[in-house]
Amino acid sequence: MTIVHTKMDKQKTVLLTGKLRAKIIVQHCLLASLFMQTCSAFDTSGTGIAALRVRGKTRVAASYKAVHTPHLALYSALDTRRCVSFNFDDFRGSTRGTNVFRPPKIESWDSMVRATRRLVRASILRTRFALQTSWWCFPLILTLIPPYFFLVLGEAPTTPSWWPLQQVFDDMRPEYIALFLLSNSAYYASSAVLFRDRRRGVPHPQLLPWFTLVAGLASTVYHFYQSMGVTVAAEALAYVDHGIAISAGLYFLRKCGLPRLGTSVLGFSGLSLFKFRGDQYPASHSLWHVVSALTIISWANDLVAKRKKYIARELSSKREGK
């Protein structure tokens, strides 16, 4: 039995961008693999596929019994803009009755080389674009350190010696610990203000309130285990808290730009509180939570002020042009 697939219509070839090429390659791999499995299921009487034609110029010829082979899926996926033609002759066994397999013979490697170069070039461009636009999320790699320690190394993670975990809550009264944990509510208030402004039409970046909310949640959980004296959980959550906090700050820098003078003074004043360690840590870090939450609101409003100033300048220049 011979199965001949219908020829594809001769329409204009659409030039695929680097962004779409990867998706189509995956689709070609899956479709080619599925097709080969279907062909092997059909070929129960010892007869193979007569011809399979896909759009392009590259020619691949093969003669063997129709069985699933991943090589052909690879060949059909490498060149997405050019057509690949497969030829499956009827199987003819040797006199000894063994199955003879002859791999596909490639008549031209030029198109495959060009396609591979295009794929590599597109991958490099996409990687460069990701580095230029998403560099702010790289500190989130810190959140993978605890799973790596627990699952791969089989041990609990520890904080570095130059940034040790502060364990000063053993002799602290419970109400002071509650006030320390309550200072994280400043992040929830800041995220609520940003959500309210977005509902009112203020053009804050979309992830700004969400990042503030997630940073507040991570800080609350981390400081809870820290204040309760659960060292293993606290040291693991320290990486999560710091990774989210640093990424949130870099995201603000990416979307809001450099802050104005008042916001910069407020932010650096909060960062200066990190030098207080030991018994001064609970009070100084609680104050850091409040100051950083206020800095978030001020920094977001700086972006709104910059946009208003830009719009006013553009309107005045158009009026002068008239």
Which parts of the chain are beta strand (E)? 52-53, 58-61, 84-86, 105-106
What is the 3-state composition of the chain as percent helix, strand, coil, each rounded to the nearest 5?
Answer: 65, 5, 30
Confidence of residue 176 (pLDDT cuts 50, 70, 90): very high
Asked if residues 43 and 71 have their Cβ atoms less than 8 Å apart, the reply is: no
In terms of Cα–Cα distance, which of 194, 180, 200, 209 is closest to 280?
180
The pLDDT > 70 percentage for the chain reads 66
Cite the DSSP H helix spans in 79-206: 110-133, 145-147, 174-182, 185-199
Q: Express each pLDDT in 219-241 by its tens digit.
A: 999 999 999 989 999 999 999 99
DSSP for 239-281, please give it: HHHHHHHHHHHHHHHHHH-S--HHHHHHHHHHHGGGG--GGGH
Asked if residues 106 and 85 have their Cβ atoms less than 8 Å apart, the reply is: no
Q: Regarding beta strands 58-61 and 52-53, do their DSSP bridges make them parallel or antiparallel, or are they unpaired? A: unpaired
Q: Express each pLDDT in 89-102 by its tens digit.
A: 433 444 444 444 44
Confidence of residue 15 (pLDDT cuts 50, 70, 90): very low
In terms of Cα–Cα distance, which of 227, 116, 223 is closest to 170?
227
pTM of the model: 0.61
Task: List the end-to-end C-alpha distance of the chain, in Å, as a whole number.
Answer: 78
What's the rounded Cα separation, in Å, for the pair 70 and 58? Answer: 18
The helix-helix angle for 185-199 and 207-227 (nearest 10°) equals: 170
Q: Is the pLDDT of residue 116 over 70?
A: yes
- Residue 25: per-residue pLDDT: 53
The residue ranking higher by pLDDT, 102 or 125, is 125
- Non-local (6+) Cβ contacts of 305 within 8 A are 260
- Residue 108: per-residue pLDDT: 63
- Residue 27: per-residue pLDDT: 53
Neighbours of 301 (CB within 10 A): 18
b/e 70-89 (16+ beta carbons within 10 angstroms → b): eebbebbbbbbbbbbbbbbb
- Residue 62: per-residue pLDDT: 38
